[in-house]
Amino acid sequence: MLFFHLRYNYQFMAKNSQFLQKNSSLLNIYGYHSVKAALKNDKRRKKRLILNPTSAENYYDEFKGKIKEIIIISQKEFKNKYSKDENTQGIVLQAFDLKELTLKEILKNSSKNKESILLLLDQVNDPHNIGAIMRSAALFNCLSIIISENNSPEMNSTIIKSASGAAEIVSLIKVPNISRCINELKKNDYWIIGLDSEADKTLDKFDIPKKSVFVLGSEHSGLRELTKKNCDYKISIKNKQYKYFEIDSLNVSNAASIALYEYNKKYNIDY
């Protein structure tokens, strides 16, 4: 039965390769976990699933009832079209972006909860790091990440692949101005906590407020000075000092994971 689909879809592709190329506005979602999560998400509109023969053998039966259009193309064509920059695992879902939420919507929903945790990324622009942060955020019940609309990448295939399914759960909230956003968060009873490797106070000794926003800076320069000034607290993650060297900072996604873990541990949130 699978052989029939393989043969049929090779013929389909030969006749419709130009049609596929014209749909460049579609977002390509790569990899098993990301595609599986996207197919389960009723809020995401899906167009078609594209497989190579190997992934078709492994996953065709699993996916065939979840999307109307499945196309199987040769290994060579798949590699030429989709595998230049990403580890696709031979799976590509062509879909549309999710509806973007606003800061106002997030604040309205959070006001109903006693405990609420958010992340704010200050000029973090590496898509792999953003995706990894989304993955940790999903694990630790942080469902909104605030980013600058001017200095952050658009939602793209790399972010979604790195998030490994979390992009279907965690929202990226774009704001035009980080300082004004922080002021708005403060008006809604959030405490702004900047993660700063140079801060004297450490996370393990810090009494994290119930409504908190952890602010993380760029991979190279950390928090900007204006952002630091707007934080209620600046804390560091306790580091290990060795005889010959010192690890003075963590990757931004690792720092986010540790901060979220400490918050969840303090408030006994089930995750």
Q: What is the CATH number of the domain that holds 235?
A: 3.40.1280.10
Find where tokens 């990448």 sit.
Answer: 153
Q: Are residues 135 and 215 in the same domain?
A: yes
pLDDT score for 109: 79
The pTM of the full predicted model, rounded to 2 decimals, is 0.86
Q: Which residues of the chain have pLDDT under 70?
A: 1-25, 85, 111-113, 239-249, 269-271
CA angle 240–221–207, rounded 5-degree value: 50
Given 95, 124, 158, which residue is the final one in a domain?
Answer: 95
Main-chain phi, psi angles of 98, to 5 degrees? -75, 155
Given 62, 95, 128, which residue is the final one in a domain?
Answer: 95
Output 179-182 pairs: Cβ under 8 A, ≥24 positions apart.
Answer: 179/226, 179/227, 179/230, 181/103, 181/120, 181/146, 182/120, 182/213, 182/215, 182/227, 182/230, 182/231
Main-chain phi, psi angles of 15, to 5 degrees? -85, -20
Query: In this structure, are residues 210 and 116 in contact, taking their beta carbons and an 8 Å threshold?
Result: yes
Find where tokens 């995706």 sit.
Answer: 131
pLDDT score for 88: 92
List the domain range (segments joined by +) for residue 241.
103-266
Q: Are residues 73 and 131 in the same domain?
A: no
Separation CA 254–CA 104 (nearest Å): 28
Nearest to 151 by CA among 179, 174, 119, 128: 174
Domain count within the chain? 2
pLDDT score for 244: 61
pLDDT score for 30: 95
Q: Are residues 167 and 246 in the same domain?
A: yes
Nearest to 194 by CA among 145, 150, 230: 230
Range list of β-strands (E), 17-56: 27-30, 46-51
Is residue 271 domain-resident?
no
SS (H, E, C) 183-245: HHHHHCCCEEEEECCCCCCEHHHCCCCCEEEEEEEECCCECCHHHHHHCCEEEECCCCECCCC
Q: Are residues 144 and 219 in the same domain?
A: yes
Given 95, 125, 140, which residue is the final one in a domain?
Answer: 95
Nearest to 122 by CA among 261, 211, 234: 234
Q: Are residues 54 and 178 in the same domain?
A: no
